Amino acid sequence: MNHKKTFVISTIIGIVFVLIALYTDFGYYSTLLFASGYGIILNSILHIISLMYWQNPKRRTAYEKKLQEEHINKVDERKQYLRMKSGYITYQIMTFALLILSFILALFQVNTWFITIVFLTFIFQWIVSIIVTYTLEKRF
Amino acid sequence: MKNRLEQLRKERGIKQEDLAKALEVSRQTIGSLENGHYNPSIQLAFKIAKYFKLRIEDIFIYDVETQ
């Protein structure tokens, strides 16, 4: 029920976004608000339909099995280890990719702003990784 | 680290699925443990030992050469 409640609330938020967009005229920003609201509504409705499908008494056993599987996948230590490892590998790939991308953008003499943003994203990622490591060092 | 998990499981006629359910891990984790691709945490090792009513060192064999 709590899951459904969350998606009902997000549907209402989406409707509010769409209504604000329809009854105001901020040009581009109204369109942006409309698209965001529409996206939220669609996503919430799909989740509600999925929940209704699974919570149907006819599928009770299958739903319980699905929930059990989801729980196992969440607490399984090998899967947790794999998620951590994939996060670490992704970090390394992204660090390399951002550096290469900023170099390629510089080669093509793209607007300095683009290169700066890409390079700052690299710096941001690096700083965040240091902060997270430092925080984890203190905790464990 | 080597282990006797597969041997013990088969001796007792337990399916991978059932062992996984009892230990609250996925079936793939049992497979990975059995073929030596994954070493369990000390917590899971204790759980496995408790399940088979054995000591950890009766199931898991520390192999210096492979470390």
SS3 assignment, position B1: coil
Q: What is the ipTM of this complex?
A: 0.85
Please, which pLDDT band fits residue B65 given cuts at 50, 70 and 90? low
- Cβ-based contacts of B18 with chain A (< 8 Å): none
Can you give the pLDDT at residue B53?
Answer: 96
Please, which pLDDT band fits residue B12 given cuts at 50, 70 and 90? very high
Are B24 and A72 an interchain contact pair (Cβ–Cβ within 8 Å)? yes
Residues A118, A95: Cα–Cα separation, whole Å: 11
Can you give the pLDDT at residue B63?
Answer: 75
**Beta-bridge partner residues of B31:** none
Indicate the residue type of A1: M
Reported as type and span, the H/E element at residue B61 is strand B60-61
SS3 content of chain A, % helix, strand, coil (to 5): 90, 0, 10
Can you give the pLDDT at residue A77?
Answer: 94
Can you give the pLDDT at residue A16?
Answer: 95
Can you give the pLDDT at residue B67?
Answer: 57
Are A78 and B26 an interchain contact pair (Cβ–Cβ within 8 Å)? yes
Quote the pTM value: 0.76
Asked if residues A98 and A122 have their Cβ atoms less than 8 Å apart, the reply is yes
Residue of B nearest to A78 (CA): B29
Residue of A nearest to B30 (CA): A78
> How many CB pairs below 8 A link A and B?
25
**End-to-end Cα separation, chain A, in angstroms:** 36
Which one of B26, B40, B41 has the shortest CB-CB distance to A72?
A: B26
Q: Could you tell me the sign of the dihedral formed by the alpha carbons of B12, B15, B18, B21, in that order?
A: positive
Can you give the pLDDT at residue B66?
Answer: 62
Can you give the pLDDT at residue B64?
Answer: 72
Can you give the pLDDT at residue A94?
Answer: 95
Which residue stretches of chain A have pLDDT < 50? Answer: none
Are B20 and A72 an interchain contact pair (Cβ–Cβ within 8 Å)? yes
**What's the gap in Å between the CA of A63 and the closest CA on chain B?**
17
Can you give the pLDDT at residue B56?
Answer: 94
Rounded to 10 deg, the angle between the B42-52 and B16-23 helix axes is 120
**Beta-bridge partner residues of B60:** B3
Tokens of residue A116, six digits: 């700066």
Are B24 and A78 an interchain contact pair (Cβ–Cβ within 8 Å)? no
Q: Please tell me which residue, B65 or A140, carries the higher pLDDT value.
A: A140
